[in-house]
Structure 1
Amino acid sequence: MTPEQQRTVGARVAQLRKQRGLTQRELANAVSRTTSWLSQVERGVQPVARLDVLQLLADALGVSVQTLQPDAPTPQAAPQARISESNDLDGARLLLSGHPALDVLLADTSPEPGNLPELRDQVEELWNLTHSARFADISNKATTLVPELERTVRTCADADQAEAHGLLARTYQALAAAFVRQDESDAAWTAADRSIRAAEQSGDPLSVFAGIYRLTQAFVRLRRLDQAEHAAETAVRALERRTAKAAPAELSVLGALHLVLAHVHARSGRRAEARTELDRARQVARQLGEDRNDHDLEFGPTNVEIQAVSTAVDLGDAGEALDLGLSIDATPLSPERQARLLMDLGRAHAQRRHPGEALDCLLRAEELAPETIRTHVAARSTIRELVLVSGRSASQELLDLAERADALE
């Protein structure tokens, strides 16, 4: 399917859905997919290459398959239809649902391990997708990369074991980060746990701590704040013994763990503890002296202030959040981090009853990282609140955003 065909099919699906008075969530549920996936289909981002899924969409909309895609095979040709990878993060979830390399266990001869330089480039590409919050692309990439890495760590030479396990750890960390951002907390927990195991086998202790950071984020989304606090504090205590002689990468990991502790305390309503952890993160950032991306954590002075904005919003201090946020230049950081700042500024404006400014921030965030703004729980809650407060005076831009985010369900 060409990009133009994808857009045409997506436009037909959106038009028919609206004609039948269905929300994106209702139609997505009817075809056993996520709202995020349907949003991508309607925008022409995600192709519907599986004939059975196209048939489900057609049935739910009360039309023929050919109405959606005129050149689609007839139902009798279904056995020959091309099977594509799973959509959204569904494919990535399936990766975690069983043993990742059963073929290696049963093979009469061991398969050739993957090419490490090529795998290294693929892991970098996966992280670039993660920092851009491109969830469908992450899933598609992971469905081939994870099995290849899992086979490689079981078949490569002893001299390559450390690097292969390190790449596997980073891959699972990327998946954990993506799952957290789409509120797939159970999958994030599993991915983070696997990353910790692979990191330990790589012989890189800091990668283990980075995995703990991802695990802590999963605990926060699961609202298991006691577990999040325990995991982060245990890691911080171990790292703080080395602060005086710590290398930059160690400082990055330590600072990130202080930030996640600030987040945990803010979610618990523990204002003083949250501010204490932010101050500790600022101290580490000053010692580090620059924005870095060690272990894909994007830790540095700028990210500390972005987290300070988020913490202030969580604590209900909208004025402080706006004072902090409007002075931050986040452009050197990833699209995901820039979008997160704008999202939190939108939340702060909503708390202050500034609907126009809130909508502007949310729309700018959507331009940078569409799937983050449409799937993040706090963003969707803010959009819903703006619509309710605006009532009949809600602008068409706001209503359109609410529909894209399925925020009114």
Structure 2
Amino acid sequence: MDSVELLPVGRRVAYWRGRRKLSQQMFADRLGKSKSWVDKVERGVRSLDRLSTLQEIARVLRIDTAALLGGNTAPADATHRAEGVDRIRAALSRYEIPLGVPAGLRPASPVERMLREVGHAWTTFQYARYQQMIDMAPELLINAQRTYARAPVTGRTPLVEAYRITAALLVKLGDAELAWLATDRAMLAATGDRELVTAAAVQLGQVLRMSGRTREAKSVMLAAAYRIAPPEIECGTPAELSLCGTLLIQAALAAAQHGNEPAATDLIDEAASMAERVGDGRDHHHTGFGPTAVALARTAAAVESGDARAAIAWHEKATRRPGWRWLPPEHRAAHLLDVARAYLHADDATTAARVLVEAERTAPAEIRDRPVARELLAEITRDPRAPTTVTQLAVSLGVG
């Protein structure tokens, strides 16, 4: 059987046909095909590029479709993710700072070292190395808490950033409740620092939208955005404009989710004017904000509004921008998920599958570790027009 897994799909069909003691003619009759068609498939002259055809072949051969596509591939390690989230939950449940516990434990990391560690964590996240982030997050949180306990002034920034990156990760993993706890900790730790509070509000907007609290999300995001907004755009620093613009985008997406498309458009237009002053290729406060990010947000808002054609049009414009390739893999792959959903809504399962496979190539963990991505993959795979490329991806991830 191990050698069979190495064979091309057509040769596997021939192998299983032989196992079932079917001649090519008998097999063709049961499929409603010609003997010539079966012969070409088995010799690899004709490709099997439709899921519905593969499923029919598997039915006749009395095997699982995965056996034709390489059933030896291992499913995603959900157990590792669950255990990792439990460790993050335990780290967030510690109250060493108010209880004064750190004094008797191992020495706290210097602030400079903690800043480097949270910087490394953000880079890991932006490259969509979520499994690595799951392993890193618990110790990162504990170390940041201890550093803050020893240096409450200079240690506040790495603590807020540790909570922010943890919340961003938990949003990806689909744990809204735990993401909310991490975000709440970030907001509380940032209290008193206008810029840090605004940065933490970015994750708050993500959590609120993820929880379906779109009205609250829009209200809170606008309050946070206008708190950091300069009196005149020309007076704002790139960091301020990046935070303000990112929060306006969050508010716009919440408005789109709530069905208020005109408000979403106005808010994104407002963010666009700020983005032009910031430019592409920047990443102030790990927002990735710039003209290309705003263009991608127009796609996301159109998807939320149910306008698939507009979403696809915005996507095509955005990805022609030079700034597209400057965005981190996580950002690009997350956008491609939105685009795949748009194509699916436009009744184009073939292109939806192609875009989803592109997202997986860009950042594999964006598909492997995100529940929303796996649900989208399963939905595309159920379409009989879906190509075998996406079916093979689904089989390898244990999605179906």
Fold shared by both chains (TM-score > 0.5):
yes
| Distance across 2 between alignment mates of 1:220 and 1:155 | 35
- Compute the displacement of 1:234 (Å): 1.3
Superimposed CA distance per residue, residues 355-388 of structure 1 (whole angstroms, 9 cap, x where no aligned partner): 2221111011112222322444543343233233
C-alpha change, 1:94 and 1:141, in structure 2 (3 Å) is same
Query: Contact 1:262–1:277 (CA<8 Å) still a contact in 2?
Result: yes
Say yes or no: does 1:98 pair with 2:87. no
Summarize the alignment of residues 340-351 of structure 1 with structure 2, pairs less than 5 Å apart. Answer: 340-351=334-345
Say yes or no: does 1:39 pair with 2:76. yes
Summarize the alignment of residues 350-365 of structure 1 with structure 2, pairs less than 5 Å apart. Answer: 350-365=344-359
Summarize the alignment of residues 170-209 of structure 1 with structure 2, pairs less than 5 Å apart. Answer: 170-200=161-191, 204-209=193-198
Query: Contact 1:87–1:139 (CA<8 Å) still a contact in 2?
Result: no
- Compute the displacement of 1:319 (Å): 1.8
- Compute the displacement of 1:41 (Å): 7.4
- Equivalent in 308, 320, 323 of residue 318 of structure 1: 308
* TM-score scaled by length of structure 2: 0.74
Equivalent in the alignment of 1:262: 252
Equivalent in the alignment of 1:402: 394
| Distance across 2 between alignment mates of 1:394 and 1:176 | 34
Equivalent in the alignment of 1:388: 382
Equivalent in the alignment of 2:219: 230
- Compute the displacement of 1:405 (Å): 5.3
* Structure 2 runs not aligned, ≥5 long: 1-63, 67-73
Counterpart residue identity of residue 290, structure 2: G
Equivalent in the alignment of 1:81: none
Equivalent in the alignment of 2:138: 143
Superimposed CA distance per residue, residues 103-140 of structure 1 (whole angstroms, 9 cap, x where no aligned partner): 84385x57533122222221111111111222221121
Summarize the alignment of residues 10-409 of structure 1 with structure 2, pairs less than 5 Å apart. Answer: 39-40=76-77, 87-100=83-96, 104-105=100-101, 107=103, 112-156=107-151, 161-200=152-191, 204-240=193-229, 242-244=231-233, 245-327=235-317, 328=319, 329=321, 330-390=324-384, 394-404=386-396, 407-408=399-400
| Distance across 2 between alignment mates of 1:372 and 1:113 | 33
Superimposed CA distance per residue, residues 313-365 of structure 1 (whole angstroms, 9 cap, x where no aligned partner): 22222222222212324210111111022222212221222222211110111
Q: Secondary structure in 1 aligned to 2:76?
A: helix
Q: Secondary structure in 2 aligned to 1:163?
A: coil
Q: Structure 1 vs Structure 2: percent identity of aligned residues?
A: 26
Counterpart residue identity of residue 109, structure 2: G
| Distance across 2 between alignment mates of 1:400 and 1:93 | 34
Query: Contact 2:218–2:252 (CA<8 Å) still a contact in 1?
Result: no
Superimposed CA distance per residue, residues 129-176 of structure 1 (whole angstroms, 9 cap, x where no aligned partner): 1112222211211221211121121123xxxx3321101101111011
- More relative contact order, 1 or 2 (CA 8 Å, 6+ apart): 2
Instruction: Find the structure with the greater CA-based Rg.
Output: 2
Alignment RMSD, CA only? 2.8
Equivalent in the alignment of 1:74: none
C-alpha change, 1:258 and 1:407, in structure 2 (3 Å) is farther
Counterpart residue identity of residue 99, structure 1: Y
Q: Secondary structure in 2 aligned to 1:133?
A: coil
* Structure 1 runs not aligned, ≥5 long: 1-20, 24-36, 47-84
| Distance across 2 between alignment mates of 1:233 and 1:406 | 41
Ranges of 4+ aligned residues in structure 1 off by more than 6 Å: none
